[in-house]
């Protein structure tokens, strides 16, 4: 099979690394890719916003299957256009990608199909939103409706904070993404991420993970795209996974199909495990970054036939086998991230992979043959272990061998799981 992978982050490096191990693979291309992905794929300088160019490349190379990594091309309808051109594609349609692209869309789906989530209202102007907040009181959550790079959510512990967040959205802090606002009840509990594939009819549960969104140790400082993750998430017991499938995933699949938007791709469900059980915080319609890196390290099965079955409606014919080991990834970011940071800082050394540890590339590039950091999140040092404690020790041992002066990382990724394992 000839495969084209779309994307250039740590998530796509992990997908490329795993796809490249498939005996079914004849050739792997990545657009635009990164220097880490180049170890497994031929990089192609395509503008992925130019759907006609992507299709023309796929036809020229007789690509059998396209795997789309990030959300932006999905929300822009790249999967629809590829499928219309007769090319099998992993990733949801533009209509189904609204599950990630519009928080209001997802909340309305939950309301229609009785999927547990926080009570909410949607607003197109500030005044009624403010009234609703005054009526409900704090804590309460304010969300820009559209894609806001993970920054459009304010968990307001006071009414004043909530009112300020509403003004910020309607004053244009998130551009068009904030033209509509969802105000939502605060859910109390432990967060977990759950990954599940669907071909529109069948669901295949993958695995669970926990992310670390704050930039600083002890979960302090501003939110980021994710500073590290581990899998599995201990709060997601087999019973909780079963409830999530029955109460959240299955009604989503049937509801989306009933509404005329069948979902094909990966559900990345952000869950709050409350006293009542699992409740949906949000859906993403692609693998998490850096959650994908820990999932790929733990997946024993060949990824390629699983993704292909998802895209071609034969998910009932495949299974996914997982290692019992835990996996943990530490994100090395440019100093200053998630604020401003220097670009093109030199990375002098990236240690070699071993059987149980590997460094995935995210925001890296080659300049005059030398590796440099070009992004906020730059390297993902990922390791397996018999438990999170061991995976954490291995990941940090490898992290300490990376030579990059402008890099920093959190030193406590996995702290909740490690504390549990000590108890
Ligand atoms: P989201 O972008 O929707 O994942 O929200 C970002 C973060 O805000 C989540 O990971 C949660 O930590 C928090 N959050 C979102 N919605 C709620 C809620 N209803 N109750 C409590 N925390 C929330
Ligand atoms: N790590 C969170 C995300 O991929 O959205």
Mind listing the pLDDT tens digit for each residue in 195-241?
999 999 999 999 999 999 999 999 999 889 999 999 999 999 999 99
Q: Decide: 35 in ligand 1 pocket, CB within 6 A.
A: no
217/240 Cα distance (integer angstroms): 28
Q: Tell me: the pLDDT tens digits for 279-298? A: 999 999 999 999 999 999 99
Q: Is the pLDDT of residue 48 over 70?
A: yes
**Average pLDDT, integer, range 4-22:** 98
For residue 215, the CA-to-ligand 2 centroid distance in Å is 13
- Which ligand 1 atom lies nearest to the CA of residue 187? 20
The pTM of the full predicted model, rounded to 2 decimals, is: 0.95
116/94 Cα distance (integer angstroms): 24
Question: What is the pLDDT, as a whole number, of residue 116?
Answer: 98
Question: What is the pLDDT, as a whole number, of residue 369?
Answer: 94
Closest CA to 413 of 228, 169, 136, 175: 228
**Average pLDDT, integer, range 242-262:** 97
DSSP state of 403: B
**Average pLDDT, integer, range 135-164:** 90
Q: Tell me: the pLDDT tens digits for 29-47? A: 999 999 999 999 999 999 9
Q: Tell me: the pLDDT tens digits for 66-115? A: 999 999 999 999 999 999 999 999 999 999 999 998 899 999 999 999 99
**Average pLDDT, integer, range 362-386:** 97
Question: What is the pLDDT, as a whole number, of residue 178?
Answer: 77
| Among 145, 155, 220, residue to substitute to test ligand 1 (most atoms within 8 Å of Cβ) | 155
Q: Is the pLDDT of residue 380 over 80?
A: yes
| Among 283, 290, 329, 380, residue to substitute to test ligand 2 (most atoms within 8 Å of Cβ) | 290
Q: Decide: 150 in ligand 1 pocket, CB within 6 A.
A: yes
For residue 153, the CA-to-ligand 2 centroid distance in Å is 14
For residue 120, what are the β-bridge partners? Answer: 184
Question: What is the pLDDT, as a whole number, of residue 175?
Answer: 80
Question: What is the pLDDT, as a whole number, of residue 250?
Answer: 98
295/193 Cα distance (integer angstroms): 11
**Average pLDDT, integer, range 179-206:** 95
**DSSP track, 220-266:** EEEE-S-SEEEES-TT--HHHHHHHIIIIIHHHHHHHHHTT----EE
For residue 239, the CA-to-ligand 1 centroid distance in Å is 23
Closest residue by CA, ligand 2 atom 5:
288
Nearest ligand by distance to the CA of 282: 1
Provide residues with CB under 6 Å of ligand 2: 211, 225-226, 284, 288-289, 291
Question: What is the pLDDT, as a whole number, of residue 150?
Answer: 67
Q: What's the sign of the alpha-carbon dihedral 100, 103, 107, 108?
A: negative
Q: Decide: 129 in ligand 1 pocket, CB within 6 A.
A: no
């Amino acid at each position: 099979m000839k495969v084209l992978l779309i994307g250039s982050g740590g998530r796509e490096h992990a997908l490329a690394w795993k796809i490249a191990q498939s005996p079914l693979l004849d050739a792997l291309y990545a657009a635009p890719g990164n220097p880490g992905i180049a170890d497994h794929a031929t990089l192609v300088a395509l503008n992925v916003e130019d759907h006609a160019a992507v299709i023309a490349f796929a036809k020229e190379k007789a690509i059998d299957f396209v795997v789309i990594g990030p959300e932006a091309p999905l929300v822009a309808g790249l999967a629809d256009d590829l499928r219309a051109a007769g090319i099998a594609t992993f990733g949801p349609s533009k209509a189904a990608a609204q599950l990630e692209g519009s928080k209001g869309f997802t909340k309305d789906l939950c309301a229609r199909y009785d999927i547990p989530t926080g009570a909410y209202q949607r607003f197109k102007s500030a005044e009624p939103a403010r009234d609703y907040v005054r009526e409900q009181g704090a804590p309460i959550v304010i969300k820009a409706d559209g894609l806001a790079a993970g920054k459009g959510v304010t968990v307001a512990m006071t009414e004043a904070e909530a009112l300020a967040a509403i003004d910020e959205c309607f004053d244009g802090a998130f551009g068009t993404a904030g033209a509509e606002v969802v105000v939502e009840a605060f859910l109390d509990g432990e967060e977990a991420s759950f990954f599940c594939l669907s071909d529109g009819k069948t669901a295949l549960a993958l695995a669970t993970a926990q992310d670390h969104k704050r930039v600083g140790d002890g979960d302090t400082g501003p939110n980021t795209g994710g500073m590290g993750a581990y899998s599995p998430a201990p709060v997601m017991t087999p019973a909780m996974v079963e409830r999530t499938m029955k109460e959240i995933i299955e009604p989503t699949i049937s509801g989306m199909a009933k509404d005329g938007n069948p979902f094909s791709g990966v559900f990345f469900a952000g869950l709050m495990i409350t006293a009542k059980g699992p409740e949906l915080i949000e859906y993403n319609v692609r693998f998490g970054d850096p959650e994908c890196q820990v999932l790929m390290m733990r997946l024993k099965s060949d990824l390629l036939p699983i993704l292909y079955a998802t895209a071609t409606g034969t998910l009932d014919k495949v299974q996914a086998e997982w290692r019992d080991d835990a996996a943990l990834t530490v994100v090395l970011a440019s100093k200053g991230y998630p604020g401003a940071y220097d670009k093109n800082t030199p990375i002098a050394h990236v240690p070699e992979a071993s059987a149980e540890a590997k460094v995935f590339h995210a925001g890296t590039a080659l300049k005059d043959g030398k590796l440099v950091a070009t992004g906020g999140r730059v390297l993902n040092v990922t390791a397996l272990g018999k438990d999170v404690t061991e995976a954490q020790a291995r990941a940090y041992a490898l992290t300490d061998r990376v030579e990059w002066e402008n890099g920093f990382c959190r030193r406590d990724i996995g702290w909740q799981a490690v504390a549990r394992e000590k108890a």
